[in-house]
Amino acid sequence: KELMQPQDIFVLDPADGSPLHTPPAKDGVPAKLSECAPLFQSAYDLMGAGAVLHSHALEAVMVTLTCGDEFRITGLEMIKGIKGHAYHDTLVVPVIENTPRECQLTASLQA
């Protein structure tokens, strides 16, 4: 993933989630928009998110299994990179319960 370039990223229209840019095909296989796209669009719409990052990093998964409905963190230098936050602020990240299929998560976020 550290080799990703801007052209490798889907860019979606914030109004309706339709692709504004689709990455080029690799080895003849066209890029496919994630099944999570409606979930990400809902996060963008409902939470006023400026962007949506999605991770399956072990640390991220462990946090979601141990913190309940939200993850809170403060005193972390990286927080200042999020608009409206500074080092001493508390960043609150909502956690939604997982489902067998990612496309099923959208309804739980909208609830």
Positions marked active-site: 77
Which of 101, 94, 100, 81 has its CA nearest to residue 35? Answer: 101
Pairwise CA distance, residues 57 & 54, whole Å? 9
Beta-strand (E) ranges in the chain? 11-12, 19-21, 70-74, 90-94
**Structure-block tokens of residue 47:** 């939470």
